[in-house]
Structure 1
């Protein structure tokens, strides 16, 4: 049986990721649990942000890790994430898509009971 992915991305998000990849090289994503960047997903050059101990990598997009704050993951661990992109500026402005006049956003949906039985494992930062 194929494991159920925790993460997907829209075509619009993938197009922006491809543009950022061309300009910045390898990328990474981090979704924080609040503070100055809110809970918007942030995109950085790979190695430009260091996940905290016990943060969760829920999957990859185009091969780039998507990390979630450990406390936020505890709240959203039963949800599927779909990365999207919108026109406008997010709350933090640290993310690489900001100069493009765009902001990444995550849409959530709860996993079904069947999906919960076969979820991909998460990687924890140790």
Structure 2
């Protein structure tokens, strides 16, 4: 099956650092407004996905949820989690005090990949 989600080495290293300090983690990417559209990292259980939000995969075993409307727009895209220096628009994410921000790079799946995508899970 083709994964909808991967992470760069830089993102994985930051996740290790955050995990050591905060314990189990989770990710949520909102559709805009106050949270912006960058993924946010929380302590596991520190954010509750809304009804019909979509679990698109796991990074290092940690759930990566996205806003239900955002999924409708990006459902044919691969998400690559990366990290940049600087502050993202949300400010609530665990990496913010470190002067870092998570960022997703997108690319469209090709026809072959679309035939074998990992299924998603919707929050009930």
**TM-score bin, normalised by smaller chain:** over 0.9
Runs of 4+ in structure 1 deviating by more than 3 angstroms, as ranges, are none
Please state if 1:78 is matched with 2:80: no
Counterparts of 2:110 and 2:20 in 1: how far apart (Å)? 37
Count of aligned pairs: 124
Alpha-carbon deviation of 1:88? 0.2
**1:56 aligned to which of 47, 54, 57:** 54
Counterparts of 1:63 and 1:11, CA distance in 2: 15
- Residues 66-120 of structure 1: CA deviation (Å, up to 9, x unaligned): 0000000000000000000000000010000000000000000000000000000
Aligned partner of 1:66 in structure 2 is 64
TM value normalised by structure 2: 0.99
Unaligned regions of 5+ residues in structure 2, if any?
Answer: none
**Two-structure CA RMSD over aligned residues (Å):** 0.3
